[in-house]
Amino acid sequence: MNARVKVGLDEWLVADADRTELIADGLSGGVAVGLAGDGKVALSHVSCACDAGHWEAYRTGLDRALAASALGERPQAVLVCAQGDSQLGSDAWLPWRLKDWLHGKGIRAEIRQDNGCRIAAGDGGLRCTLKCADREDDYRYGYAVSSDAGDAASLAGSLSDRARPAGAAHSPRADFAAGDAVLTEEGHPAYGLYRQILGKIPPEAVGADNAGELPGLYAARQAAAALTVECLKQNIGRVDTVITGGEDHASLFAIMGNRRESLRHASVVTDDALDMPMPALSAEARRLHAALPAFGAAPSPAPPPHAQNNRSALTT
C-alpha cells in the first residue's frame, strides 16, 4: 500500500509515484494543482490569497517548484477547486489563471470540482480521485504531512510566507475513546446550535453553490463546529445570522441580535478551523455547554470589525 501525504496551504510536494499518493483537503477557496510525469507525482494547495496583486510572487514560486519537481517534458495535470469550472466573476480568476500558467508551460489541464482530491499515477498516467468518490477516512487518518513525511515525499517549494504543513492526522483510537457524539451528530448537547450556525453560513464563503450543499462540505462543517465553540465561550445560545468579515473577509462571524447596540458575536478564521480536530471541538463544546446554566448572561462584545452582511466570499 502506498504512503499518503497531505499537502499544506501554499506548499508544493513531489513524490515517487510508485510509493506515494498525495492528497489535498479543505479547498474552500484555494485550488489544488496536481501533476504526474517521469515516475513522479506533485501536488500543491494554492491559497486564494493568490490574487491579481500577488500573482507575480506566486508565479515565481510555482515556476521554481515545477522545475524542482523534474516531471519530464510532458507531465499531465489537473486543477481541483470547490467551485469547479462553473465559477463566475472574481471567484473564477485563480483556477483559470493557473490553467493559463500551465498552458504556457505546454501542459494541458482540466478543472474539476470538489473540496479535496487524491493524486496518484500508474500505467495510464495521472489519476485524480475526487474526495466525494474517495474514502473520507483517508483524509482524516493515517497520512503524513510535509514535516514528518521522511522519504515518502519532499517539499519542492513554498509559494508564500503563508505556507505551512497540513494538520496532522487524527488518531482513530483517540476518536474512538472520545466515545460521545460529535458536534455533527444529534446526540451532542450543542447540536442544535451547530445546525443553526451551519444553516446560516453564506454558501459562497465556503465554496458551496447553495445552502443545501453545506452539510456535506468539510469546510462548512469545520467552520460551524468552531463557531459553535466560540459562541458557547461568549454565552451565545442563539444565532440570528452568520456573515463574513475581518481582514480580507477571512473570518466568519456568528451574530445574535438585530439591533446594533445589543449585538453579540463570536468569530473564527476559516483557515484555522480547517485543521481543528472535530473530537476536540466536540469535547470542548460539551464542556462549555454543561458549564452554562443559562444563555444570555454575558456582557455584549463590541460589534465585529469590518463585518459586512453582503455574503462576500471568504479568503482561505
Compute CA 102 distance to the chain's CA centroid, rounded to the nearest angstrom: 23
Burial degree of 167 (CB within 10 A; 0-12, 13-18, 19+): middle
Burial degree of 203 (CB within 10 A; 0-12, 13-18, 19+): middle
Task: State residue 290 phi and psi, 5-degree precision.
Answer: -70, -30
> Could you tell me the pLDDT band of residue 132, with boundaries at 50, 70 and 90?
confident
Read off the pLDDT of residues 163-196 as tens digits, 9 standing for 90 and up: 999 988 876 555 544 457 889 988 899 999 999 9
Q: Give 277's DSSP letter.
A: -
**Domain residue ranges of the chain, discontinuous segments joined by +:** 3-158, 172-291
- Strand arrangement of the beta sheet that strand 264-269 belongs to: 241-245, 251-256, 264-269
pLDDT given at position 60: 97
Question: Residue 242 in contact with residue 252, Cβ under 8 Å?
Answer: yes
Q: Give 315's DSSP letter.
A: P
Indicate if the alpha-carbon torsion angle 65, 67, 69, 75 is positive or negative: positive
Q: Is the pLDDT of residue 309 over 50?
A: no
Read off the pLDDT of residues 215-257 as tens digits, 9 standing for 90 and up: 888 889 999 999 999 999 998 989 999 999 887 778 999 999 8
User: In the CATH hierarchy, which fold is given to the domain comprising 3-158?
Assistant: 60s Ribosomal Protein L30; Chain: A; (3.30.1330)
Q: Is the pLDDT of residue 56 over 90?
A: yes
- Rounded mean pLDDT of the chain? 85
Q: Which three cell numbers stand for residue 292?
A: 452554562
Burial degree of 147 (CB within 10 A; 0-12, 13-18, 19+): exposed
pLDDT given at position 83: 67
Q: Is the pLDDT of residue 23 over 70?
A: yes
